[in-house]
A and B are shown apart, each in its own frame.
Chain A
Amino acid sequence: MSHDLRHDGTSTYAVPTTGTVVLGPTEIQRALTRIAHEIVERNKGTGDVVLLGIPTRGVPLAHRLVERLTAIAATDPGSADPIAPAGELDVTMYRDDLRDHPTRTIGRTQLPPGGVDGKVVVLVDDVLYSGRTIRAALDAISDLGRPRAVQLATLVDRGHRELPIRPDFVGKNLPTSHTERVRVRLAELDGEDAVVIQPAATTPTEGHR
């Protein structure tokens, strides 16, 4: 066995931040608040909505969105059911590139108590890039149940799609070059909130998942 066994895609985030900070804590908070309002608007309430975060950084983002949706529901006497707690959807075993990267650590999949059947599932991820993670997520969901609809929320859309996939809710559109790296850092995991663009040469390994 070799050392790559421990590779879990998060290690590259441990390198000291270099590069340009494009979103700070306030901007990230505002973007999430806006996305939460857009989810309520699009679905006319949150009764059937289930948020599923894609590990690693989609999970805390989904939890933050549920907090905001709960707060919105509290101020709106017309809204009916409270929103379900956020779930986690690991897509590792559905990826199409398992042979092209070091072995990936399998994350946790945990659905909220009501499951996803007949619900509106909102997938939450940090960065939308090629769209391949979302393709894997759609396959993973179909093995878990049959939602009424699936929507996609992402904190950053950096373009360069390789599949016909588009987000429904976007925190920030970031036009990037293929060679750049986009890093999302979140307080829950990294101690601070920031979205950073790094030029390619600063990290030794292929970083984006």
Chain B
Amino acid sequence: MKHLLSAADLTRAEAVHVLDTAAEMAATQSREIKKLPTLRGRTVVNLFFEDSTRTRISFETAAKRLSADVINFSAKGSSVSKGESLKDTALTLQAMGADAVVVRHQASGAPHLLAHAGWLDAAVVNAGDGTHQHPTQALLDAFTLRRHLAGDPALGATSGVGADLDGLHVAIVGDVLHSRVARSNLALLTTLGAHVTLVAPPTLVPVGVDTWPCEVSYDLDATLADGKPDAVMMLRVQRERMSSAGGGFFPSPLEYSRAYGLDARRLAILPEHTIVMHPGPMNRGLEISAEAADSPRAVIVEQVANGVAVRMAVLYLLLTGQHDATPVPVTTTTTRTEEAHA
């Protein structure tokens, strides 16, 4: 693979291969010496136009564990704040000899433009673009799901190697409208054979959702009780993307929390084996209560650890191998519906 731009680009075999590679990467991270010489001499640029803590640190850790040199570039305090265009930033990175560019941008499609405009030879990894895609988040969520639900968690990092997510039911709850995590997860989990139910207030469900390969519910209690999901993925309410306090998407935080928040009562409805996920950062008390976030079923902290392993796998797969010798074009087609809401 040359770039990783969208979770929808991955076939089932490719996705399983990335997860298997991540499992072996995760196994190396329990060693005393965690650093591997694999990407020695390669340069990874973290190009972040949007605020991020965990994704940037996760990519930085992953690249450093593989011995790559890491350059962090954030829009604040750089020439971008003086009005430099994406093109000129890309040409600068090209001149500096970047081998991979990890890009987060508030505009949907910016990573695709970077990858295909001909400004850069580097591999481009989408670390979140607008409300479009965040493929490494979906991969780390799939990895976490597989580890807990498709294998024997006692095996540790290599639990579930080779398996997909066939037959699992995942409920994705919350601000679907603004969520690239939901879009990426829906694409990848469906590719891997899981069944997804989106749960959100009608105002936070995008137009055209009926064409997505999932069910949509407005009733969290009914979904938890009747759907018996194997995993519940809570989404962050993205108030920075809403115009005012609730942006008119819901009457008040309290009302949102009562109808769509995961609390101790709802946790008790869930089947014994169900795991609770959240991509972070959490709004405790809004979409998830402290009891739910800190319960033994929550795998939220483990998701962060798995993120490093998955990003190591992605960097390994992008930066090794003879890409000149395999001119198979990368398909980056997104579905029309996704573009319409991006």
Q: Which residues of A contact B (CB under 8 A)?
A: 1-6, 90, 93-94, 98-109, 139, 143-144
Chain B residue with minimal CB distance to A108?
A: B24
CA A93 to CA B68, docked complex, whole Å:
13
A2, A101, A105, A143: the one contacting B21 at CB < 8 Å is A105
User: When the two chains form their complex, are residues A98 and B36 in contact, meaning their CB atoms are under 8 A apart?
Assistant: no
CA A144 to CA B322, docked complex, whole Å:
29
Q: A99-B320, A103-B320 are in contact. Are A2 and B36 (CB under 8 A)?
A: no
User: When the two chains form their complex, are residues A1 and B31 in contact, meaning their CB atoms are under 8 A apart?
Assistant: no
Main secondary structure on chain A at its contact with chain B? loop
Q: A101-B321, A103-B321 are in contact. Are A1 and B1 (CB under 8 A)?
A: yes
User: When the two chains form their complex, are residues A2 and B328 in contact, meaning their CB atoms are under 8 A apart?
Assistant: yes
Taking the closest CB of chain B, its distance from the CB of A112, in whole angstroms, is: 15
CA A208 to CA B102, docked complex, whole Å:
34
B228 is an interface residue with CB less than 8 A from chain A = no
B33 is an interface residue with CB less than 8 A from chain A = yes
A100, A101, A103, A107: the one contacting B317 at CB < 8 Å is A103
CB neighbours (8 Å) of B330 from chain A are 1-2
Q: Which residues of B contact A (CB under 8 A)?
A: 1-2, 9-11, 13-14, 17, 20-21, 24-25, 27-28, 31, 33, 35-38, 66, 158, 316-317, 320-322, 325-326, 328, 330
8 pairs, CB–CB < 8 Å, chain A vs chain B = A5-B13, A5-B317, A94-B37, A98-B321, A101-B322, A102-B325, A102-B326, A103-B316
Q: A1-B9, A3-B328, A108-B158 are in contact. Are A102 and B321 (CB under 8 A)?
A: yes
CA A108 to CA B326, docked complex, whole Å:
26
User: When the two chains form their complex, are residues B1 and A2 in contact, meaning their CB atoms are under 8 A apart?
Assistant: yes
User: When the two chains form their complex, are residues A106 and B328 in contact, meaning their CB atoms are under 8 A apart?
Assistant: no
CA A99 to CA B158, docked complex, whole Å:
26
CA A93 to CA B66, docked complex, whole Å:
9
CA A2 to CA B25, docked complex, whole Å:
21
Q: A106-B24, A106-B25 are in contact. Are A4 and B37 (CB under 8 A)?
A: no
B66, B316, B320, B326: the one contacting A2 at CB < 8 Å is B326
User: When the two chains form their complex, are residues B17 and A5 in contact, meaning their CB atoms are under 8 A apart?
Assistant: yes
Taking the closest CB of chain B, its distance from the CB of A105, in whole angstroms, is: 7
A90, A93, A100, A105: the one contacting B17 at CB < 8 Å is A105
CA A104 to CA B321, docked complex, whole Å:
7
CB neighbours (8 Å) of A104 from chain B are 320-321
CA A4 to CA B9, docked complex, whole Å:
15
Taking the closest CB of chain A, its distance from the CB of B99, in whole angstroms, is: 10
CA A2 to CA B328, docked complex, whole Å:
6
Residue from B24, B25, B317, B321 having most chain A Cβ neighbours under 10 A:
B321
CA A107 to CA B325, docked complex, whole Å:
23
User: When the two chains form their complex, are residues B21 and A106 in contact, meaning their CB atoms are under 8 A apart?
Assistant: yes
CB neighbours (8 Å) of A6 from chain B are 13, 17
CA A4 to CA B326, docked complex, whole Å:
8
CA A108 to CA B322, docked complex, whole Å:
23
Among all A-B residue pairs, the 4 with the closest Cβ atoms: A103-B321, A1-B1, A2-B328, A98-B320
User: When the two chains form their complex, are residues B13 and A109 in contact, meaning their CB atoms are under 8 A apart?
Assistant: no
User: When the two chains form their complex, are residues A100 and B322 in contact, meaning their CB atoms are under 8 A apart?
Assistant: yes
Q: A5-B1, A139-B37 are in contact. Are A109 and B321 (CB under 8 A)?
A: no
CB neighbours (8 Å) of B328 from chain A are 2-3
CB neighbours (8 Å) of A100 from chain B are 322
Residue from A4, A90, A93 having most chain B Cβ neighbours under 10 A:
A93
CA A93 to CA B321, docked complex, whole Å:
12
